[in-house]
Structure 1
Amino acid sequence: MFLWLVIVLMVSGSVSSNEYKLHWVIPPANVSTSLNDWASGQRFQVGDTIRFKYKKDSVMQVTKEGYMQCNSSHPRFYSNTGKTRFMFDHSVPYYFISGTSGHCEKGQKMIVEVMTHDRTTTSVAPTPAIAVWLCFFSFTLSLVA
């Protein structure tokens, strides 16, 4: 019985993560939206990932200063595989730029704001009503057995 209770609590406390797919390209000159517009429309959380898809390019995570200046000389992360998967492990802003010369200046850069998980949905402690129900259920089972 105790094992069943532990399993129920583990399942109720699990947190899912999302994967976002992004075509990592220079935004067309005739389009008024940017990669930041796309990113700001998402709700990234710790544990989520972005899958960057691109050709003959690269993706870099840089500092805020590197982002502002399109400076690719000291990236925190670099990949040029064409299908880069990047997981968010902290609740901070992430700054991405293209490592291909001139692409960042043409708008191929993005800021991703990562939030922490909402504690109300990730708590492993049962609510009082569930706790009372579980106690009643386990008591009832002990009477039947």
Structure 2
Amino acid sequence: MAIPFKASYPLFLCLILFCGVNCTEFEVGGHDGWVVPKTDDDSQMYNQWASQNRFKVDDTLLFKYEKDSVMEVTEEEYEDCKSPRPLFFSNNGDTVFKFDRPGLFYFISGVRGHCDRGQKMIIKVLDIEATPSPQYANESAPKPHKKSGVAELTPMRIITASTLFVMSTFLLQLYV
């Protein structure tokens, strides 16, 4: 018996809700946004904020600011508070930066003097592949192997959104 296409809308809605909520947007600096810290005591405020959050690949940072900029830089440029060639630069006042890999990310203001006064931040993006999952909690359970820095997929890994979409399309065609 074929299910009418309209009857499959709830299935699509469930798939969208299941697949679409996999990343988080973090607003840097909260209500104040990306600004120069007001006092010397606040010079570590962005790193303190970053240490209280957990970032993963595909999460985004929202930098809100006026008459400023944000740059992703190397560790050395972060320490020097200047970069002639940043890895990323934006000065549109409403910058979104998406994490595309695990590891450390260094951000500074591009306005002279702002970084020296504390407008800089280090973010650690977690390597989800390296984080033990419940299936590996037992010492006797098989552990994932790594080749060339990429973890092999096991049957217990999370199914990607594109795989779910292909599977749902196939199943829908069975009913039509």
Say which of 66, 80, 102 aligns to 1:69. 80
- The 1:119/1:19 distance shift into structure 2, 3 A limit, reads farther
Tell me if 1:39 matches 2:39: no
Query: Which residue in 2 is equivalent to 1:28?
Result: 38
Q: TM-score, normalised by structure 1?
A: 0.71
**Residues 124 and 35 from structure 1, CA distance in 2 versus in 1: closer, same or farther, beyond 3 angstroms?**
closer
Identity %: 44
Matching of residues 80-91 of structure 1 within 5 Å: 80-91=91-102
Stretches of structure 2 lacking an aligned partner (at least 5 in a row): 1-11, 135-155, 160-176
The two structures have a TM-score, normalised by structure 2, of 0.59
Partner Cα distance (1:109, 1:30) in 2: 13
Q: Deviations over 1:35-65 (max 9, x none)?
A: 1000111000011000000000000000000
2:40, 2:111 → 1: CA distance?
21
Q: Please tell me the residue identity of whatever aligns with 2:34.
A: W
- Name segments (4+ residues, structure 1) moved above 4 Å: none
Which secondary structure state, in structure 2, belongs to the residue aligned with residue 124 of structure 1? Answer: coil
Q: Residue 133 of structure 2 is aligned with which of 112, 120, 139? A: 120
What's the Cα RMSD here?
A: 2.5
Aligned residues: 116
